[in-house]
Amino acid sequence: MTADFATRVRAAVGRRGRLCVGIDPHAQLLTAWGLPDDATGLRTFTETVVGAIGPHVAVAKPQVAFYERHGSAGVAVLEDALAALRDAGVLVIADAKRGDIGSTMAAYADTWLGDTSPLRADALTASPYLGFGSLDPAVGLADATGRGVVVLARTSNPEGGGLQTAVDADGRSVAQSIVDAAALHNGSGRASVGLVVGATREHGLDLTGVGGPILAPGLGAQGATPADLARVFAGATDLLLPSASRQVLSAGPDGSAVAAVAQRLRDEVEAALR
């Protein structure tokens, strides 16, 4: 049987460190690189970034929306990028934040986690706010394929606070209930569920028994530093994946400069969490 997602992440992190690079080709960034805001510019940007980070990082996180906005040509660029990252030995988290019920959730799962899908990634970000059980089709497919579902728990955007910190009948925050559901699944034998917890957030969660990766966006331009990570995620850094995007991508359009920033930030993260 294929190793589960947590095992695969642990192996990748052991080779290349914990840093996850977000690939976010928004219009302003394409312009800053001197590229047109179209599928041609998107392809140049993406191929440069993939070539730069591919040999150096364990995990990449392309933001799906920035490809979808260019229609079928943009999705074709993403398809090629996923294949190139796989060939480079990089685990890919498709940042699509999907969330639905029944056959619709199953279709999302097939798209991003199915063995034969041209858009297959190693994991998919997902929203549990239709109920954690609504993600069962994706979690089940992840279990079967060795892929992952990375579930929003405590995000860094201020709009999420009211919902995520609301307290349920058991006295737990909604975010903690999601953490606990992930831990319960991962403890059953296939650790396929990860969590999204913002690195800039004093989250107040007990993450010590999750058993799956914790994706922590916010490193770099959003304000979190490598030195913050050990404190914010105390006791839960084994499979921590701090994610940076703007700090790395703003070094372009020179691919060697992008690679240098990614390597430096990766090494700073490892030193801080040693």
Cα separation, 84 vs 47, in Å, equals: 9
Would you give the DSSP letter of residue 159? Answer: G
**Is 97 an active-site residue?**
yes
Which residue of the set 10, 26, 86, 97 is catalytic? Answer: 97
Q: In 37-172, which ranges are continuous DSSP H helix?
A: 39-53, 65-68, 71-87, 102-113, 136-145, 161-164
Q: Answer whether 142's CB lies under 8 Å from 148's CB.
A: yes
Tell me, rounded to whole angstroms, the distance of Cα 132 from its chain centroid: 18
Cα separation, 255 vs 1, in Å, equals: 38
**Residue 72 is which amino acid?**
S
Active site members? 97
